[in-house]
Amino acid sequence: MPLILQRLLPHAPLFDFLRVTPQPAPAARAVHPAWVVLWISVWMSAVCNAPLWREVLHLSGHTGLRGWAFMLAFCVLVTAGNAALLSLLAWRWTLKPAAIALVLMAALGAYFMLAYGIAIDASMLTNVLQTDVKEAGDLLNWRLPVTVAALVLPPVVWLSRQQVRRVSPARQTLHNVALFFAALLVAVGAVLMVFQDFASTMRNHTQLRYLINPLNSVYALGNIATRPLRMDTRTLVPVGRDAQLGSSYAGQSKPPLVVLVLGETGRAGSFGINGYERDTTPRLSARPDLISAGNAWACGTSTAASVPCMFSHLGRSGYESRSANFEGLMDVLQHAGLAVLWVDNQSGCKGTCDRIPHADTSAQKDAELCPEGRDCLDILMLKDLDQRLAQLPAEQRQRGTVVVLHQMGSHGPAYTKRSAPEHKKFLPECTSTALQECERQQVVNAYDNSIVETDHFLDSVLKWLAAHEDKAQPAMVYVADHGESLGENNIYLHGLPYSIAPDVQKHVPWITWLSPAMQSRMGAATPCLQKQLAQQRITHDHYFHSVLGMMDVQTAAYKPELDMFNTCRTTTAAKSVAAAPAKG
């Protein structure tokens, strides 16, 4: 058995049969656990925090001797923080495994922060924990193992060569407590040495706190682990159980048929219909009957944050501070007696479709639409849609139907996989998932081609709806869950904390089409909505209430002031939609 592996094994009886007992080393060669804590902490702060130090070096006002003094004090602070954390784990059987786990965590964090310019918080780790195998595979490239090995192997080899001095449990407890408080004192001292600069920097550059490695990941994991203590995750609070269908359903000749296209990773500024210099939406731009909201904003910068939020009645602030989980938009529509269906071509609905009929197309086998047997193009969701709808209860379909089509859209970093060959309008493309290897224009080309694919998909949805106008009153609402960074300021992908995320991760496309029959039903005309929503600021907070208003579903959960269609409704129609239900 390799000696390096033997030395990394915990000192527990369970592993004794695997251990070849070496000749006892002189007591003087055994190092005290505190030295292991110190040197591992120094390695993590100095080497594994390269993204942090890169950011600090680029800050204005930190030059000359004063700048280097700030850098040194900050490094001492990070080292002390890491030492305080590791001192809590510096026990006989846990020190080496804990040190290796923290170094590995720091190495992975360093790679992704360096490669994509991301920051790590609870939301980002939630995305990681919810990532499926396909999404994880898109992030793999040769740089990942090389970088992680370079950051992990030196401390692992060093640890394997160290014989840690055995200390009695009582003395180890005393030493650990002393080390913990000593680290805290050193951290306080380091801050006080440069307090003015430190306070100003952390106040004006809040992103730095999310780059302190691996404390950022540990804090985020703790935040996720303790969430059940702050929020009742076992109880689902009902919403809209009082939902009733409004007066527009009385004696209707055709039921409403609404498709909600849930976009993925859509930048509002990259859509030609919104004035982008490139014609990425030739089909949509050619239509005079679309309503494009040019000032629409997401409630999160990731799918895990945005999707549950936009389907919630709480709005962004209420959703983030909620004390329990609530039913969402699709539940309310189902309570009202409408037929509902969720079709997913991505990594799941994040809980929003758990209680309604749903289907997953992402794992289907289609030689044409699923190249290489994976990453199916979104158009696949339309292939069997009529058959899926036919399986819903006929009584509900006669009232009305709402379908959600959850796109793969422009999900990165494998943008090149998000468009068919015939829609690759902008070349050359970046074909690597290590986006930093490509010229930025190649990354933009690949992303823009994914928008051309979305243009084709939305046009196909509109044609599918038009084919049903003889028996339904159709409409479509397309909204992206969040935006994307394409290398601006060396930031890629999405998921930065909302407070520090650039606008390109929060400004999203929102495109609506209402058939003439649906306009008449709603009492809201497309020309008016085109004028009103061109500049009016709307957010995902409007989504829940606007869909309920469109479907004329009356419930106490509905807020007419957040219904974006109300600005153009006739007085009679607005009163009908806003009316409270007759009974609870």
SS3 at position 210: helix
Residues 435 and 498 grouped into a single domain: yes
DSSP characters over 331-349: HHHHHTT-EEEEEESSS--
Whether the per-residue pLDDT at 511 is higher than 70: the answer is: yes
Mean pLDDT value of segment 399-418:
95
Q: Using only the alpha carbons of the chain, give its radius of gyration.
A: 28
The CATH number covering residue 277 comes to 3.40.720.10
Whether the per-residue pLDDT at 584 is higher than 60: the answer is: no
Residues 362 and 244 grouped into a single domain: yes
Residues 243 and 151 grouped into a single domain: no
Instruction: Tell me what pLDDT residue 405 has.
Output: 98
Residues 277 and 216 grouped into a single domain: no
Instruction: Tell me what pLDDT residue 196 has.
Output: 86
- Determine how β-strand 324-326 pairs with β-strand 232-237: parallel
Q: Is 583 domain-assigned?
A: no
**End-of-domain residue from the set 183, 200, 228:** 228
Instruction: Tell me what pLDDT residue 198 has.
Output: 87
Whether the per-residue pLDDT at 66 is higher than 90: the answer is: no
Q: What is the pLDDT of residues 313-328, one digit of tens each?
A: 999 999 999 999 999 9
**End-of-domain residue from the set 178, 195, 228:** 228
d(CA 368, CA 86): 52
Q: What is the pLDDT of residues 374-383, one digit of tens each?
A: 689 999 999 9
Q: Is 452 domain-assigned?
A: yes
Cβ neighbourhood burial of 394 (10 Å; 0-12, 13-18, 19+): exposed
Q: Is 224 domain-assigned?
A: yes
d(CA 108, CA 222): 18
CA angle (269, 272, 278) in 5-degree steps: 95
d(CA 429, CA 444): 8
Whether the per-residue pLDDT at 289 is higher than 50: the answer is: yes
Residues 251 and 203 grouped into a single domain: no
Instruction: Tell me what pLDDT residue 203 has.
Output: 84
Q: Which two tokens stand for residue 278?
A: 């490139």
Q: What is the pLDDT of residues 194-226, one digit of tens each?
A: 888 888 888 888 889 999 999 999 999 998 888
What residues form DSSP beta bridges with 479? Answer: 262, 510
Number of domains in the chain: 2
Using alpha carbons, select from 158, 174, 8 the residue that is nearest to residue 95.
Answer: 8
What residues form DSSP beta bridges with 325? Answer: 236
Residues 153 and 47 grouped into a single domain: yes
Helices (H) and strands (E) in the chain, counts: 23, 15
Q: Is 572 domain-assigned?
A: yes
Q: What is the pLDDT of residues 180-194, one digit of tens each?
A: 999 999 999 999 998
Q: What is the pLDDT of residues 90-123, one digit of tens each?
A: 998 999 999 999 999 999 999 999 989 888 988 8
Other Cβ atoms closer than 10 A to 76: 19
Whether the per-residue pLDDT at 1 is higher than 60: the answer is: no
**End-of-domain residue from the set 207, 228, 249:** 228
N-term to C-term CA, the chain: 71
At 137, the pLDDT band (50, 70, 90 cuts) reads confident
d(CA 165, CA 173): 14
Residues 469 and 485 grouped into a single domain: yes
Residues 366 and 444 grouped into a single domain: yes
Using alpha carbons, select from 329, 334, 296 the residue that is nearest to residue 312.
Answer: 329
Whether the per-residue pLDDT at 573 is higher than 80: the answer is: no
At 513, the pLDDT band (50, 70, 90 cuts) reads very high
Rounded to whole angstroms, what are the CA distances from 151 to 103, 104, 179, 426? 8, 8, 25, 38
| Of 387 and 136, the one with more pLDDT | 387
- Computed from CA positions of residues 153, 159, 160, 161, in that sequence, does the dihedral angle turn out positive or negative? positive
Q: Is 550 domain-assigned?
A: yes
Q: Is 584 domain-assigned?
A: no
- Computed from CA positions of residues 17, 22, 26, 29, in that sequence, does the dihedral angle turn out positive or negative? negative
Residues 240 and 283 grouped into a single domain: yes
Which letter does DSSP use for residue 311 in this model? T
Most confident of 24-33, 76-85, 367-376, 428-437: 76-85
Question: Could you tell me the pTM of the whole model?
Answer: 0.87
Burial 148-169 (b: 16+ CB within 10 A, else e): beebbeebbeebbebebbebee
Residues 430 and 555 grouped into a single domain: yes
**Is 280 within 8 Å of 268 (Cβ atoms)?**
no
Q: Please, which residues have CB within 8 angstroms of residue 326's CB and are 6 or more apart in sequence?
A: 236, 237, 238, 239, 312, 313, 314
pLDDT > 90 fraction of the chain, expressed in percent and rounded: 72
Q: Which of 129-133, 180-184, 295-299, 338-342 has the lowest mean pLDDT?
A: 129-133
| Of 545 and 490, the one with more pLDDT | 545
Residues 316 and 349 grouped into a single domain: yes
Instruction: Tell me what pLDDT residue 60 has.
Output: 64
**Is 112 within 8 Å of 436 (Cβ atoms)?**
no
Query: Could you list the residue range(s) of the whole structural domain that residue 483 is in?
Result: 236-578
At 62, the pLDDT band (50, 70, 90 cuts) reads low
Instruction: Tell me what pLDDT residue 59 has.
Output: 79
Average pLDDT taken over every residue of the chain: 89
Residue ranges of the alpha helices (H) in 255-391? 282-285, 303-310, 315-320, 329-335, 385-390
Q: Please, which residues have CB within 8 angstroms of residue 509's CB and are 6 or more apart in sequence?
A: 263, 266, 267, 268, 271, 273, 274, 292, 296, 478, 479, 480
Other Cβ atoms closer than 10 A to 247: 14
What residues form DSSP beta bridges with 474? Answer: 257
| Of 567 and 374, the one with more pLDDT | 567
Mean pLDDT value of segment 259-273:
97
Mean pLDDT value of segment 422-447:
94
Which letter does DSSP use for residue 499 in this model? T
Residue ranges of the alpha helices (H) in 89-142? 95-116, 122-130, 133-138
Residues 261 and 219 grouped into a single domain: no
If phi > 0 it is left, if psi is from -120 to 50 it is alpha, else beta; for residue 493 that is left
Instruction: Tell me what pLDDT residue 231 has.
Output: 87
d(CA 533, CA 514): 14
Instruction: Tell me what pLDDT residue 373 has.
Output: 62
Q: Which of 130-134, 254-258, 351-355, 558-562 has the lowest mean pLDDT?
A: 130-134
If phi > 0 it is left, if psi is from -120 to 50 it is alpha, else beta; for residue 315 that is left
Q: Is 246 domain-assigned?
A: yes
d(CA 407, CA 362): 10
Instruction: Tell me what pLDDT residue 7 has.
Output: 53
At 22, the pLDDT band (50, 70, 90 cuts) reads very low
Q: Give the type of residue at 482.
A: H
Q: Is 344 domain-assigned?
A: yes
Whether the per-residue pLDDT at 269 is higher than 80: the answer is: yes
Other Cβ atoms closer than 10 A to 99: 25
